Amino acid sequence: MKNSLNFLIEVNKLKEMPRTGWILQGAKNPETIAEHTVRMAFTAWLLGREKKLNIKKLIKLAIFHDLCEVYAGDNTPFFYYQNLEGREGEKAMLKGPRLAQKEKKKLGEKKFILEKNALLKLISPLNLNIKKDIFSSWLDFEKKFSPEGRFVREIDRIETLLQSIEYFGNKEKIAGSSWWEQTEEFVEDPFLLEFLKIIQNRFYGKRFLRNKKLENILDFIVEIGKLKRMPRLYWKLRGVKNPETIAGHIFTLMLMVLIFGREKKQLNMEKLLKMALCHEITAVYTKDTIPYDINFPKDKKELAKILEKAPYSSKDQKTKKFLKDYQEEKESIKRLFLKLPGSLESEIIQLWDEYRNRSSSESRFLAQLNVLAILLQGLLYKRREKKFSVSALWEWVFEICDDPCILALMDEMKGKL
């Protein structure tokens, strides 16, 4: 338990590490490694189901694939280049790396060893089962052993490509061709190649053969991207500098599911993972909410003081707030899923509804892990800033958590942080 907590604290750094490629190319407020991972997990799920791949495995590979970067750093293909400064460097980055085959192989091996050692260092304190799972998943992703490994590797490129279009647009002079070049070198799955054509239709005005289903999935993936840019409201109102985003929070929760959910043999892991991905999905339209039913005072200091305490209210007030939020979120859901394939829409709505109403074992477990993820983040902010109060978070945990595994983790957090 203690080692799992230490691991979570370390990987939490990925929520504060912007992706190197975006920094190099001057993107404003670039996404973090954790945020990229979350949309990649979504994309792998939504597209992987069309190919009837193992969804649990796809999501797991996506979540684990960049953990090594906690210590290895985020190395772009420009890892190959020695000097990227000045105008020559800028020009070089607009195109993909131009190197001889032999050199690419040598540097690729160097990168592999660097990342492998970093990952082994990161996971070394964990128990054997988790360690094996993370390492074998990463290896599968790197070496493309399984169909899921190959698929997620290609999804990684596609999600990055999509993000590059969202940052830099579609004009080659500004965006360069490197993202497309790298994607087209990498992606070979015919289904994903078709998806790339849909991206070109959407963003480049091309007129390749239309596929309504894939177009709608693309639209949904683009919408989900908003979660990468939405700071969590509670932290923002508490005055936290550079607070985690909703996508960042989902990243922590997914990892907690993979580590602690495996002990709960009676729970459906695939369902837990999907539910974790979807639990805040309505924030795309409703924005993030907090469990306080108050008129926010204009004075920020006064507001921060209110939020330092747990939200106290009568049962009636709690129920009214719950129903109001639930209705608004349900409206948001209808908009978000309007165009998704029927069975996928039903599945996601069902997952979200179960979570909101705590109507299944998975939803009850996940709700408790969720509040622990929030507490963990709060404790890490407190490490940064000693005066940051976490009393309200502890009170939430005391009210919400009753699962023995969760209570054990809570006790570990009491001791450690």
C-alpha dihedral sign at 125, 70, 36, 34 = positive
- Choose between 105 and 320: whose C-beta lies nearer to another protein: 320
> Binding residue for another protein (CB under 8 A) from 50, 394, 405, 412?
394
3-state SS record for 241-303? CCCCEHHHHHHHHHHHHHHHHHHCCCCCHHHHHHHHHHCCCCHHHHCCCCCCCCCCCCCHHHH
Residues sharing a CB contact under 8 Å with residue 375, sequence separation 6 or more, in sequence order: 390, 393, 394, 396, 397, 410, 413
Report, in Å, the least distance between residue 209 CB and another protein.
29
| 12 in Cβ contact with 127 (< 8 Å) | no
CA dist 61 → 3, 114, 138, 158, 294 (Å): 21, 19, 7, 15, 41
Most distant CA pair in the chain, distance: 70
- Choose between 24 and 417: whose C-beta lies nearer to another protein: 417
Report, in Å, the least distance between residue 353 CB and another protein.
7
- Choose between 192 and 371: whose C-beta lies nearer to another protein: 371
| 163 in Cβ contact with 225 (< 8 Å) | yes
- Choose between 99 and 400: whose C-beta lies nearer to another protein: 400
Stretch that binds another protein, among 7-15, 41-49, 251-259, 307-315 (CB under 8 A): 307-315
- Mask for 322-361, x = binds another protein (CB under 8 A): x-------------------xx-xxx-xxx-x---xx-xx
Report, in Å, the least distance between residue 319 CB and another protein.
5
Token output for 191: 């289904």
- Choose between 73 and 291: whose C-beta lies nearer to another protein: 291
Is residue 397 a contact point for another protein (CB under 8 A)? yes
Report, in Å, the least distance between residue 104 CB and another protein.
44
> Binding residue for another protein (CB under 8 A) from 309, 324, 335, 383?
309
Report, in Å, the least distance between residue 311 CB and another protein.
8
- Choose between 111 and 364: whose C-beta lies nearer to another protein: 364
Quick check: helix, strand or coil at residue 18? Answer: strand
CA dist 143 → 107, 147, 231 (Å): 16, 11, 35
Report, in Å, the least distance between residue 39 CB and another protein.
23
Number of residues that bind another protein (CB under 8 A): 42
- Choose between 76 and 377: whose C-beta lies nearer to another protein: 377
Q: Which of residues 261-300 bind another protein (CB under 8 A)?
A: 266, 268, 271, 291
Report, in Å, the least distance between residue 249 CB and another protein.
17
Q: What's the distance, CA 207 to chain centroid?
A: 32
Amino acid at the residue 403: D
Helix or strand run (H / E) with residue 32: none
Which residues are near another protein by CB under 8 A?
Answer: 266, 268, 271, 291, 309-310, 312-315, 318-319, 321-322, 342-343, 345-347, 349-351, 353, 357-358, 360-361, 364, 390-391, 394-403, 407, 414
